[in-house]
Amino acid sequence: MSNHQIAISSLPQALTYDEATEAIYRDELDWIEEKLRLGLSVLIECDKQLTLYLYKALRARLRRSNAEPRLRCRLISGHAGGEEEESALTANTTRMQRILRELQEVVFSGDNEQIIVLPHLDVLTTTTRSGLNMETREAATLFYENPDLVFLGFKDPSFELPKVIENVFAVRHALIGIPRDQLPTIILQREARKFGTETFNPFALYKYLSGVNAVRCRQILGHLAQRLDFDPAHPEATKAIYHEIRQMTLVSDCELPNVDLQRDLGGYNAVKDKIRSEILDLLLLKDRSQNPEQIKQIEQLVPKGMIFHGPPGTGKTYFAKAIATALDATLFIVSGPELKSKWVGDSEENLRRVFSQARKSAPSIIVFDELDSFASARGTYTGSGVEHSMVNQLLTEMDGFRKEELVFVVGTTNFLESLDTALLRPGRFELQIEIPYPQDDDRKAILDIYRKNFALQISDELLQIMVQKTGGFVDQKYGIRYSGDHLYAIMRGLKREILRRGNPSDIITEEDVDRILQQKQKKPVKLTAKEQRTIAVHEAGHALCAYVLPKCPTLEKVTISTGEDQVLGYVMQAVRENKYVITRAELVDDICVLLAGRLAEQLLIGDISVGSYDDLQRASEICRMMVEELGMGGEAIGLRTVAANTEHTAELGGPRRAISEHAAARIDQEIAQLLETQRQRTEQLLADYRTELQTLVDLLLEKKTLQLHELKDIFGGRTFKSS
């Protein structure tokens, strides 16, 4: 059936729950009947609510007079008979015992011309933390006593059966949700008139009802009977009905977020464009399409799994909420570590339960926060091994999606490279979007949103200053820059300051901003004039070489005002444009920048400080890598790799031959020569631009922080970078 308007007069006028079950699942019921008549035991996975109606439909089919043979059904339910009573404490145990008695009776009766129906397998197969309980063990034994018996069992989607019980059933079939083409068969005329006068599009309802069963669907639609019929003059009434249906399909563990992709998320235009083009625009086209073939094609194209990766605090989960809002989808945020359990089978059951709830609340988005906590590459697990089973269960659930189901899975991680490669193949988490630290325009947009939300009196000029002040590192030692979370914390701090003053109309000043930025310090760092000059000279050396050398990344700013005792100053450079192909010329320029701080101290102060420790380590490591791993040393080593590489060793099938002492000495000589050459080059560079270096030091001591344009002024507007 195509996705177009249908005549309301063609719809049924009344339906019982039994008729609705027959209408939706007719083909599946015929298929199950065929298997039962062939003597195959069948396990049906469905909602508990549907079990009774499916059983009644199958029983009627098996009893039909025109069918051969006519089969009887024996229901094993464990219901108490007569006046038998049971206490709340012993109710489950008593039912299990009654089920076992009934099962034992039919197994040893010798009557094989009947179907044994087990509607409560979850009660029968309740397990302990350590394995099967005694009743389940006894039931498993009975199942295998008479191989000629045919069983019909019902299983809840969120419940796992022990393998010994599941293997009794030769055929398994899942009845989850409603097939799209069958939905119009259970919508009544009076219900359709809430959405149109003569015709209506039933598939606008489908995205809210795709995950519920036929009986639940009829219950939801039955609530529309008292609503007013459709009036073209009041389209808001129809929207209210859709909203009511949306509320009735929610489950307790989900939320309906309200995050607008454009209004509530500042900056990140490239990320937003990708989300629109890859997901939102395609789904909008699907909703508007009248072509069934085009709809099927779109359903195959839309990625159902995506990964947001990037540093902490950049808004990965927030983007997922914005997608959910755009789709009117429910959101399930699942913490990866919270899913894991030390008990066998619990972690997988937690995953099944999440996916079952998401299907019932479709359209929905499941967000696995910290996906790498349980889905890291196989072979790297250090725990109990439960992660391997969880990855397999996750893949099973994702592969089981119907194309028309609007259930999306989002994983967030700070370490994309650590994820299991099986998750990243097409059809699973095939859409991978990086959410990096915000750039200048992004930070300005984010700060502007919070300025409006908190009603802060911040001028545009001060907002631009805040953008500049947050362009550096929150923690330079670990490379942590300002993220969206940091900006949010700053604006909250400013709002608290205004509330303490008691005057909401107070204007925020630059001093207020500086005070908030420095509040995270445990105690202020106090430097002597001599220490300040040494730091200024050191950072000026780095900055000058970063500005002058043509092959190193562009300098963005230099500061000696960090307020931290571990990082007293730093030079910030832009992210290298060519991330994947780095040349030898670029590496030696990087070495020069690292050496420039120490050599500037030697040139202008006549002494050196301990502040070059980290710089020298990094410069030495680059030289070692160039000589030992990249074949970028001198002629003494040549095009030879001498560093141990376990990955390639495994590929080539043998360990690396140990190098001789003579070869090791030549390697050390090459590394020392490379460092010495770049030291001489850096010394000459600083000597050539000594005047500019001294001017840079003086300005740093005065202003504490300098931007790129101020260095450009020092050099009279001259630029050195090659294109």
Percent of the chain exceeding pLDDT 90 equals 20
For residue 330, the model assigns a pLDDT of 84
* 21 within 8 A of 57, measured Cβ to Cβ: yes
pTM: 0.67
**Range name among 86-100, 323-337, 399-413, 616-630 with the lowest pLDDT average:** 86-100
Query: Where is pLDDT greater, at 348 or 437?
Result: 437
Residues 398-402, mean pLDDT to the nearest whole number: 71
Residues 334-348, mean pLDDT to the nearest whole number: 65
Catalytic residue among 370, 539, 601, 628: 539
Q: Is 102 part of the annotated catalytic residue set?
A: no
Residues 52-72, mean pLDDT to the nearest whole number: 83
Q: List the CATH code of the domain at 529-714.
A: 1.20.58.760
Fold of 41-169: Rossmann fold (3.40.50)
- Torsion on CA atoms 346, 347, 352, 353, rounded to nearest 10: 70
For residue 581, the model assigns a pLDDT of 83
For residue 656, the model assigns a pLDDT of 53
Pick the CATH number of 440-517 from 1.10.357.10, 3.30.70.20, 1.10.8.60, 3.40.50.740: 1.10.8.60
* 26 within 8 A of 61, measured Cβ to Cβ: no
- Binned at pLDDT 50, 70 and 90, residue 84 comes out as very low
* 408 within 8 A of 323, measured Cβ to Cβ: yes
Residues 522-527, mean pLDDT to the nearest whole number: 63
Residues 34-63, mean pLDDT to the nearest whole number: 91
Q: Is 43 helix (H, G, I), strand (E, B) or coil?
A: strand
| CB neighbour list of residue 102: distance below 8 Å, 6 or more residues apart | 76, 77, 78
Residue 278 DSSP class: I
Q: How many CB atoms lie within 10 A of CB 27?
A: 10
Identify which of 172, 320, 186, 328 has the alpha carbon closest to the alpha carbon of residue 247.
328
pLDDT in tens, 456-494: 888 989 988 888 888 877 776 677 888 889 899 999 989
Q: What is the average pLDDT score of the chain?
A: 81
Give, to the nearest 10 degrees, the angle between helix 460-469 and helix 510-518.
30
What's domain 269-434's architecture? 3-Layer(aba) Sandwich (3.40)
Q: Please give the Cα distance from 618 to 180 (Å, whole number).
A: 60
Q: Is 28 helix (H, G, I), strand (E, B) or coil?
A: helix
Query: Where is pLDDT greater, at 601 or 355?
Result: 601
Q: Please give the Cα distance from 340 to 386 (Å, whole number).
A: 7
Percent of the chain exceeding pLDDT 70 equals 85
Residue 356 CA to its chain's centroid (Å)? 18
For residue 344, the model assigns a pLDDT of 52
Residues 392-401, mean pLDDT to the nearest whole number: 75
| Residue type at 686 in one-letter notation | L
For residue 591, the model assigns a pLDDT of 93
pLDDT in tens, 616-635: 999 999 998 888 888 887 76
For residue 3, the model assigns a pLDDT of 47
* 679 within 8 A of 686, measured Cβ to Cβ: no
For residue 688, the model assigns a pLDDT of 93
Residues 115-123, mean pLDDT to the nearest whole number: 85
The residues facing 333 across adjacent strands are: 367
Q: Is the pLDDT of residue 404 over 80?
A: no
Residues 683-696, mean pLDDT to the nearest whole number: 93
Q: Is 144 helix (H, G, I), strand (E, B) or coil?
A: coil
Largest Cα–Cα distance in the chain?
108
Write the DSSP string, 193-232.
TTT-SSEE-THHHHHHHTTS-HHHHHHHHHTTTTSPPP-T
For residue 521, the model assigns a pLDDT of 47
Q: Is the pLDDT of residue 703 over 70?
A: yes
For residue 524, the model assigns a pLDDT of 56
pLDDT in tens, 490-519: 999 898 888 888 887 788 888 888 888 876
- Binned at pLDDT 50, 70 and 90, residue 341 comes out as low
Residue 708 CA to its chain's centroid (Å)? 37
**Range name among 44-58, 144-158, 292-306, 586-600 with the lowest pLDDT average:** 292-306
Q: Please give the Cα distance from 249 to 362 (Å, whole number).
A: 8
Fold match, 269-434 / 440-517: no
Tokens 């949103």 belong to residue? 449
CA angle 234/210/277 to nearest 5° reads 80
**Could you tell me the residue ranges of all domains in the chain?**
41-169, 269-434, 440-517, 529-714
**Max mean pLDDT range (84-88, 270-274, 293-297, 706-710):** 270-274
* Residues 627, 632, 638, 644, CA torsion sign: positive
Query: Where is pLDDT greater, at 197 or 568?
Result: 197
**Max mean pLDDT range (40-54, 208-222, 254-268, 334-348):** 40-54
For residue 692, the model assigns a pLDDT of 92
Q: Please give the Cα distance from 89 to 112 (Å, whole number).
A: 36
- Binned at pLDDT 50, 70 and 90, residue 579 comes out as low
pLDDT in tens, 195-249: 888 888 887 788 788 888 899 999 988 888 778 888 887 877 888 888 888 878 7
- Burial annotation 190-199 (CB, 10 A radius, 16+ → b, else e): bbbbbbbeee
For residue 684, the model assigns a pLDDT of 94
Q: Please give the Cα distance from 273 to 280 (Å, whole number).
A: 10
> For residue 323, what are its two tokens?
């997608």
**Range name among 81-85, 153-157, 348-352 with the lowest pLDDT average:** 81-85
Q: Is 369 helix (H, G, I), strand (E, B) or coil?
A: strand
Q: Is the pLDDT of residue 91 over 90?
A: no
- Binned at pLDDT 50, 70 and 90, residue 313 comes out as confident
For residue 56, the model assigns a pLDDT of 93
**How big is the chain, counted in residues?**
723
> For residue 249, what are its two tokens?
């399909």
